[in-house]
Structure 1
Amino acid sequence: MNWLPEPLRIADFRAFWLARLTTTIGQMAMVIVIGWQVYDIARETMDIRAAAFQLGLIGLVQFVPLFLLTPVSGWAADRFDRRIIARAVILLELFCALILLVATAGGFISLPILFSVAALLGVARAFAGPALGAMAPNLVPRQLLPNAIALSSTAWQSGAIIGPAIGGILYDVTPHFPYALSAALFAFSALSLFTIGPLPRIVLRPGRPLRQMIDGLAYVRGNRLVLGAITLDLFAVLLGGAIAMLPLYARDILHVGADGLGPLRAAPALGATLTAIFFSFRPIKTDVGVKMLVAVVIFGLATAVFGASTHYFLSLSMLALLGAADMFSVYIRQSLIQLYTPDDMRGRVAAASTLAISASNELGETRSGFTAALLGPVTATVAGGLAAVAVTLTWAWLFPELRRARTFETVEPPPEKPPIVSSGV
């Protein structure tokens, strides 16, 4: 296996990578069908703006449980065996896929069922982000971590390409087929996670669980590099995200239907995957902070052009470009955060990062749906992309630490305190 990138030569990381790939394919095959079913059912009785509002609600019901559970999930990822948490999360997603499979095949799928499952998926994401995010650094040597992050992102983005394409195609064949595929992939992912060996024991500072949860938030607040990186993603994607509007664009603006929706949903992931593959072999070495800021500006501009486009192939190209720019930013941001965070804090810092990512994605969907209902989808999407550019320029001024981040090699974690209380399970 010498031809493989170095992290994939490690058996445990290879199992983790396969689990992440198959889980993402299953998730994305489900997500695209959930969005289409919600919009399609809503359009039977509602106009375009009211149906867009329903798409916004899907994001909201996923975000609320994540917002409420994130402090607990981050503490759990630092307190308990991260493998067990990840396995439980995948099994919950398997349960969600089976619910939608039965409801769709039985012909009684409805908005209440779709919203209820979306809320359960929000619970799953609340625990998956910290556990999986904190697990990856335990599986590879520190010097391989940037490459491992790129490979992990490649798995996620590859799944985000394959999942929507397969989901859209299978939905056209038989509406319940995507959920059957997702259930099988979640089962495989869970089995892969069961092959990962024991992780290093985690040691927390003494204190009550609530105090330990607060310690994680205090660490993020006190580390301006980490705080700036997390909040930049939060506000840029919250304002500039356009993914939630894809069913609307496919049906009522570009007029390409469910067949055209799959490629639209996959285009950002295609751009991101090509970028991540490049980074897995050729990691960035210089001026990482400035390059991250430039990438977010490109993300916002591409979003604005997509919002104004009425040509299918121009829309596809802009989605691919914004996906590549987002991956560029994610790669740098996650590398800086992971390398600058001690292991006993990684679960709680990953929870804060997951909350920010979910706030930007799920609340971004809500913002997209609500503003589209108020202003119309084109105006809302273009304005959101330009707002993301404005946020990036503001953050470059507010957090000069981001501009000054030159290389990953100069980033060292703060000294770790002597272990006092064992939390190994």
Structure 2
Amino acid sequence: MSVLHNRSFLRLWIARIFSTTAFQMLSVVIGWQMYALTDSAYQLGLVGLAEFLPMLLLTLPAGQAADRYDRRTIVYICQLIESAVVVLLVLGSIQGWIGSIHLLIAAALLGAARTFEGPASAALVPDILDREQLPQGAAWSASAMQTAMIVGPALGGVLVVWGISGAYLISLGALLVSAVLIFFVKTIHFVKKLDAINVDTYLSGLKFVFARKIIIGTISLDLFAVLFGGATALLPIFAEDVLHTGSLGLGLLRSAPAVGALVVSLILTRVSLERAIGKTLFASLIVFALATILFAVSDNLWLSLFALFLTGASDVVSVVIRSTLVQVNTPQEMQGRVNAVNSLFIGTSNQLGEFESGTMAGLVGAVPATVIGGIGTLVVAVLWMYWLFPVLRTQKTYTAEEG
């Protein structure tokens, strides 16, 4: 039976589509507005850094909160805070007083809210589904994310042409719909709450992760691979200066990886990955790296879209494997803390990766920076496969095989 027959999971699934669509729209609009105001690759990189710093500071408290308080309520409150930030972006855009510093502050506030929302939202899935349903739940969750990553950037790119404030208003509406859906989610599994917060419980998520090679290998692989291989922050430059497609082309470029990811994630809801997990994980990473290099050297829009399609298709395989490995090998009562550490690694790879990409592009140009990033991802894959975490390469099933 499909996990979508579970009404609470269905509500959570739809809510993630709306909330992630809103966030993807905001990423496009804020990035486009920042580049329009400053014409600077460094400033684009600072947007990613502004989102990352709150995550770095608040991840461990966010994990504590997810294991101590009602996870559904945390997600609900965070989405309301994000909505308030968007309201300020709308007012600033309409009244004309918004500047680069305001965009950085907004990015930081959104990053802080999503730092608390991420672990609580991820930990809700095991609260709603039975253990044997988690791989299918991970595939459906990935499809929700990728659907939103198709719709969000495309809407953002189109709506920017009509007006930045209008794009912000649409994202605000999506956030509010998500908050309403989350309000009606119900959990079925009892979760033991933390009785008190002390040094041991505060660091317990980190200790748990670093004590298990299969988990630290999995999430650190994402950290370094996407840190070097991600070119998302540079897409406004590719759209404007390399491919000469404008804001509409930017929306297409942002959507292309999600189209590939959606196609594969829907396949994975029907065909579960159950064997040769480790080899499949590294194969998908190598395809991701090669597709990134292809995108970097392309000066044709359709070839660039195809390369980005491949990055999304390969990346979602990695996402499903990694998220399932973490959830299956983590006790229910520690889901919040472990998912917080996982969110920190993912956020580092995304937001800090944007800063790294922007800085490198400022030094050597967008095309060489992206080529270097793709090569860096290949190097990471080889290091993790044969030297640092060979246990990950030999992993056959989702259950840890190490002693």
Show the counterpart of 1:360.
349
In 2, are the aligned partners of 1:130 and 1:350 still within 8 Å (CA)?
yes
Equivalent runs, 1:91-240 vs 2, <5 Å: 91-203=80-192, 208-240=197-229
Q: Does the C-alpha gap of structure 1 residues 249 and 203 become closer, same or farther in structure 2, counting only changes over 3 Å?
A: same
Please, which moves more after superposition, 170-179 or 187-196? 170-179
Show the counterpart of 1:399.
389
Show the counterpart of 2:74.
85
In 1, are the aligned partners of 2:69 and 2:193 still within 8 Å (CA)?
no
Shift of 1:201: 3.6
Shift of 1:199: 5.0
Cα distance between partner residues in 2 of 1:78 and 1:319: 37
Show the counterpart of 1:419.
none
Q: 1:38 aligns with which of 34, 37, 53?
A: 34
Show the counterpart of 1:67.
56
**Number of aligned residue pairs:** 402
Please tell me the residue identity of whatever aligns with 2:231.
A
Equivalent runs, 1:401-416 vs 2, <5 Å: 401-408=391-398, 410-411=399-400
Show the counterpart of 2:320.
331
Equivalent runs, 1:300-319 vs 2, <5 Å: 300-319=289-308
Please say if 1:29 is aligned against 2:25: yes
Please say if 1:14 is aligned against 2:10: yes
In 2, are the aligned partners of 1:79 and 1:202 still within 8 Å (CA)?
no
CA deviation profile, 1:135-181 (whole Å, cap 9, x unmatched): 11111111111001110111111001001111111111122111111
Shift of 1:204: 5.1
In 1, are the aligned partners of 2:68 and 2:194 still within 8 Å (CA)?
no
Please tell me the residue identity of whatever aligns with 1:40.
A
Show the counterpart of 1:249.
238
Shift of 1:210: 2.9
Task: Name the SS for the 2:129 alignment partner.
Answer: coil
Cα distance between partner residues in 2 of 1:271 and 1:393: 25
CA deviation profile, 1:308-340 (whole Å, cap 9, x unmatched): 111111111111100111101011111111101
In 2, are the aligned partners of 1:19 and 1:189 still within 8 Å (CA)?
yes
Task: Name the SS for the 2:189 alignment partner.
Answer: coil
Shift of 1:213: 1.8
Cα distance between partner residues in 1 of 2:322 and 2:217: 10
Please tell me the residue identity of whatever aligns with 1:390.
V
Task: Name the SS for the 1:341 alignment partner.
Answer: coil
CA deviation profile, 1:178-228 (whole Å, cap 9, x unmatched): 111111111111110111124534325766433202111100000000000
Task: Name the SS for the 1:407 alignment partner.
Answer: coil
Q: 2:258 aligns with which of 266, 269, 283?
A: 269
Cα distance between partner residues in 2 of 1:188 and 1:162: 15
* TM-score, L = length of structure 1: 0.92
In 2, are the aligned partners of 1:339 and 1:413 still within 8 Å (CA)?
no
Please tell me the residue identity of whatever aligns with 1:314.
L
Cα distance between partner residues in 2 of 1:204 and 1:81: 9
In 2, are the aligned partners of 1:75 and 1:209 still within 8 Å (CA)?
no
Shift of 1:261: 0.4
Please tell me the residue identity of whatever aligns with 1:36.
W
Please tell me the residue identity of whatever aligns with 2:391.
E
Cα distance between partner residues in 2 of 1:205 and 1:60: 32
Structure 2: which 5+ runs fail to align?
Answer: none
* TM-score, L = length of structure 2: 0.97
CA deviation profile, 1:377-413 (whole Å, cap 9, x unmatched): 11111011011011011001211221121123x4599
Cα distance between partner residues in 2 of 1:97 and 1:295: 36
Show the counterpart of 1:423.
none
Task: Name the SS for the 2:396 alignment partner.
Answer: coil
Please tell me the residue identity of whatever aligns with 2:32.
W
Task: Name the SS for the 2:186 alignment partner.
Answer: coil
Please tell me the residue identity of whatever aligns with 1:350.
N
Shift of 1:354: 0.4
Structure 1: which 5+ runs fail to align?
Answer: 44-50, 415-425
CA deviation profile, 1:42-61 (whole Å, cap 9, x unmatched): 12xxxxxxx00111111111
CA root-mean-square deviation: 1.5
Task: Name the SS for the 2:27 alignment partner.
Answer: helix
